[in-house]
Structure 1
Amino acid sequence: MKTKVLAALAATMAVGATCAFAANPFVDVPSDSWAYKSVVELADAGIIQGVDGQYFQGNRNITRYEAAEMVAKAMAHMDKASVEQRALINKLADEYADELNNLGVRVSALENRVGNVRITGDARIRYVQQSEGDKFKATDKNIDKFGKHFFKGVDRVNSETKNDDSWSYRVRVRANAQVNDRTKVVYGISTNNLSFADNSTASDSKDNNIFTDLAYVDYNFGGNNWDLMAGRYTYVLGGDRAYGYFYGDTFDGAQLKYQNDKFVATAGYGKFKEGHIGGADYHFSTYDDKDYTISTDGAKTAYGELEGFFGGGRVAGSSIGVYYNNIKPQDDNLNDFDVWGTYASVNFGKWNALVNYEKYKLDKQANIDLDDADVWIGKLTYGKANFATPKSWDAWVEYINADPMLAKDGWYSNTWLGSTNSWRNDSLLSNVKSWGVGVDYTFAKNAQFQVMQSFASSAKQGDADPGEETRAQFVFVF
């Protein structure tokens, strides 16, 4: 991009100018130049610095990063821009989105202007094929090891509906409204995962219902270091950097966060609305023909997280974190239980290494003594597939080692595992040791293809075969 072209935009982008008669900082821009006034105003506003602090070099080709720096500084003066100027800065920010992200500038800051409402969303077309594997076998070896009372079956009712059809789709739409310079309101709706083989209509199929998955108010204060959020939001245990083994995909609550470039501290309280921990009844049948029903509908939680950043700050750096949850199921037969974890996410060049550990301290549930469950996850990623950058891609490999929740008297259960941000399904998330690989590729702007495959999966306890999962999906954002 030539600087003379940028200078032609100067009259439009000089939104931070304070004085038309400021001193000219560039020796190579004469006072009779057609671009003199705009260049001086941009320099006075701090949007451009020139070369070596003395030369504008109007005929020099500039890099995309230099252009992005100028756009970032123009973004900082959006409050002084006209409607036309804001439209141009928006367009430039979209063009240089990757460079702005690498500079630590959130492009979303462009939209933080009073009275503005943005409509965003995504659509996903997904193929999933998972072999069923074997059920927990009632062999003499297992009976000797676990006793005759271990569970022979667990059925989740009123949980996320599972469909045997391989192809499905989901659409989500979000409205983001800027109320004032500190407050925004977000409202989102989503479909369930709908099968292409389902011929039913919305009026007679629960699966086709459109529901509210986001509805919250977000308020920044204290120099934007403090953030208060209340309403319905997506809660991920361990924040955005951890694996997301336990989370609330539809969660009603309130959250207070303090953040700077070094660390983020978060505390909150709320109620799970969807997923296994938020809206499921568990029906248990045992090999001695006893049946049990336990409800986790509307489980409540208090949580806290502490994340620290190094080697590049909060936006681009590495991080370590610890987190804790206290879960209180609504069923009177269930006691509170605790989930706590820690993670480390380290960037080195184009590589990222993630290690995540979680412990589920279950104590006694429904008058059954349960062992604690441990989860270990490791993931190594190369590259980064960015929706804004066509032909960008990444590849990853992961390993998961997750305990079942075993009773001390021989009962066997995979219950009380919440929703997950993982691509894996139930049998590959609990009582399992499993590897996985995947590739993400941005084949066009805002359009990405993702493929995942598990392999070498085996049960940690018993003879059950968890099977393997193949997943491929197209994701479009707008």
Structure 2
Amino acid sequence: MKTKVLAALAATMAVGATCAFAANPFVDVPSDSWAYKSVVELADAGIIQGVDGQYFQGNRNITRYEAAEMVAKAMAHMDKASVEQRALINKLADEYADELNNLGVRVSALENRVGNVKLTGDARIRYRYQSEGDKIKGTDQVVNEKQTNDNSWDYRIRVRANAQVNDRTKVTYGVSTNNISFADNSTASNSDDNNISTDLANVDYNFGGNNWDLMVGRYEYIMGGPRAYGFFYGDTFDGAQLKYQNDKFAATAGYGKFKEGPIGGYWTVDDANYASAKTAYGELEGFFGGGRMAGSAVGVYYNNIMPKAELLGNDIALDNIDVWGAYASVNFGKWNALANYETYRDAIVNDNGSKDNADVWVGKLTYGAANFATPKSWDAWVEYLNADQFDIDGTFLGSTNGWRNDSLTSNVKSWGVGVDYTFAKNAQFQVMQSFATSAKDGNADPGEETRAQFVFVF
């Protein structure tokens, strides 16, 4: 790449330093050169180092990776730049973002561009089909009625606005449609689904040398954190979260309310009674073999879910549900192995009024990595799920970050396979299939699920 990148950086003068009296660090840049002042200023600011610390080699082409490194260093001085200079640096940052990602380098300044508002989002077109389940012995009743092609297709669109207020504070606002069916009668039957809702609205503040992070507002909470399987989570969660993290360790604590999703599906109570169920949670994670961003990790977590008191119209106080979990995510070469365990205490009410625990075991083995920024990248995976019955109806306690439908998340043993393929930049095709699925208790097995979807990010 030509040295025009250097010229652009010099033109911004984003370093904000007057380096007229700085020593020339390069023996091959004479003081009478037209580029002398700009080169010295960039070197004094640490944006360029030259070759072997002595030579600038102004006629040498540079790689995109070298340019990306210089852009990242320029961003560190963003607070000293004018509006026009920030715009140019931001443009260069967008140009070389893929190189930074491909190098496995996460430059915090890339996401902390002061005075910048960036719109992102995604669109998903999904096909889901679940075959007819086995018949209950001695009857014609099946677990799942066969779906038709009409109600197997749906789509969802999400848009996010990320505003960097200053070098420590970021504001995020997001809107999303629900899953809208392509069925012929979707306008009438899915009138509620067509509504656009606010699913993100939070303020994120970094302090303590960027090791501490405080987030307040509406955010997506995944039990166990982003590295865990995410068997349980809240679709829309209002709360506050405090997190400390470094390259070896992370500790998280939070409190809030689940605002949507079937959090109240258990005990056959109407969802409205539990739409604001509260929870306090904590997570401890350790990172190794590559650090927090790219290495392996282990974690433990706890949730105390506090439902409302109404039960079938009676003023009966319900016991809190304690959820304990642990996960391990280990990388070896191009492979990743994930194991996740969760136990839900007092999740089931028996006929005699006693209560039991419900346990979940998940194992997943993945080869490769499908990266939205890298066309033709792909991965393939196989997983196993063993989940107890979560309530007297056999339905799942809440929402899930997994891909299975409701009847494949409770009282079930199930295998699954899938492939993710990036067929163009920011465009990915994903396909998933369950197999060897059986009910743990009872006579009827749920049908197998097929899922395929196109996901586009922007």
TM-score (norm 2): 0.88
May I ask how many residue pairs the two structures share in their alignment?
444
Provide the C-alpha distance between the structure 1 equivalents of 2:273 and 2:267, rounded to a whole number of angstroms.
6
Q: Say if 2:408 is the partner of 1:428.
A: yes
Alignment of structure 1 residues 7-18 onto 2, 5 Å:
7-12=6-11, 14-16=13-15, 18=17
Q: Residue by residue, what CA displacement relative to the aligned partner does 1:216-271 show, whole Å, maximum 9, x if unpaired?
A: 22222222222222221110001110010010110111111112222111111111
| Partner secondary structure for residue 355 of structure 1 | strand
Higher relative CO (Cα under 8 Å, sequence separation at least 6) belongs to: 1
Of the candidates 309, 317, 329, which is equivalent to residue 287 of structure 2? Answer: 309
1:248-287 to 2 correspondences below 5 Å = 248-277=234-263, 279-280=264-265, 283=268
Equivalent residue, structure 1, for 2:364: 379
Percent of residue pairs identical: 76
Give the Cα–Cα distance (whole angstroms) in 2 for the partners of residues 308 and 176 of structure 1. 29
Q: Conserved in 2, the CA contact under 8 Å of 1:243 and 1:356?
A: yes
Which residue of structure 2 aligns with residue 83 of structure 1? Answer: 83
- Cα RMSD, aligned residues only: 3.0
The corresponding residue for 1:186 is 172
Q: Which amino acid aligns with 1:12?
A: A
Asked if the contact 2:150–2:182 (Cα under 8 Å) also holds between the matched residues in 1, the reply is no
Distance 1:260 1:283 in 2: 43
Whether the 8 Å CA contact 1:78–1:110 is kept in 2: the answer is no
Amino acid at match of 2:60: R
- CA drift at 1:108: 7.0
Q: 1:383 to 1:80 in 2, by over 3 A?
A: farther
Distance 1:197 1:405 in 2: 31
Structure 1 Cα separation of the partners of residues 109 and 414 of structure 2: 37
Match of 2:343 among 340, 359, 362: 359
CA distance in 2, matches of 1:7, 1:425: 53
Paired residues of 1:371 and 1:405 also in contact (CA < 8 A): no
1:421 deviates by 0.6
Residue 230 of structure 1 aligns to a residue in which SS? strand
1:338 partner letter? D
Gaps of at least 5 residues in structure 2 are: 311-315
The equivalent of 2:430 in structure 1 is 450
Q: Which runs of 5+ in 1 are unaligned?
A: 141-151, 155-162, 285-291, 407-411
CA distance in 1, matches of 2:408, 2:186: 30
Query: Which region of structure 1 is more displaced relative to structure 2, 464-473 or 357-366?
Result: 357-366
User: CA separation in 2, counterparts of 1:41 and 1:403?
Assistant: 64
Output one character per residue of 1:55-75: Cα deviation in whole Å (capped at 9) or x when no partner: 222333433332222222112
Residues 1:225 and 2:205 aligned together: no
**Alpha-carbon distance, 1:336 to partner:** 0.9
Q: 1:25-424 to 2 correspondence within 5 Å?
A: 25-101=25-101, 102-106=103-107, 109-114=110-115, 116-134=116-134, 137=136, 165-199=151-185, 201=187, 205-277=191-263, 279-280=264-265, 283=268, 295-330=273-308, 331=310, 332=316, 334-362=318-346, 365=349, 368-405=353-390, 413-415=393-395, 417-424=397-404
Amino acid at match of 1:252: D
Say whether the 8 Å CA contact 1:334–1:365 is kept in structure 2. no
Q: Secondary structure, in 3 states, of the residue corresponding to 2:238?
A: strand
Per the TM alignment, residue 459 of structure 1 is displaced from its structure 2 partner at its CA by 1.9
Asked whether the equivalents of residues 17 and 44 of structure 1 are also in contact (C-alpha less than 8 Å), the reply is no
Aligned to 1:143: none
Q: Structure 1 residue 339: deviation in Å?
A: 0.8
Report if the CA contact (8 A) 2:200-2:220 is conserved.
yes
**In structure 1, the residue corresponding to 2:447 is in which secondary structure?**
coil
Q: Counterpart of 2:220 in 1: which secondary structure?
A: strand
Q: Conserved in 2, the CA contact under 8 Å of 1:202 and 1:208? A: no
Please identify, of 361-370 and 372-381, the stretch whose mean Cα deviation from structure 2 is larger.
361-370
User: How far apart, in 1, do the equivalents of 2:34 and 2:289 lie?
Assistant: 44
Distance 1:381 1:363, change over 3 A: closer
| 1:197 Cα deviation from its structure 2 partner | 1.4
How far apart are residue 139 of structure 1 and its match? 6.6
Q: Distance in 2 between matches of 1:180 and 1:202?
A: 46
- Per-residue deviation at 1:282? 5.4
TM-score (norm 1): 0.84
Alignment partners' CA distance in 2, 1:88 and 1:281? 54
Query: What code does the residue aligned with 1:68 have?
Result: A
Deviations 1:62-102 (A, max 9, x none): 33332222222112122223334333332332233233234
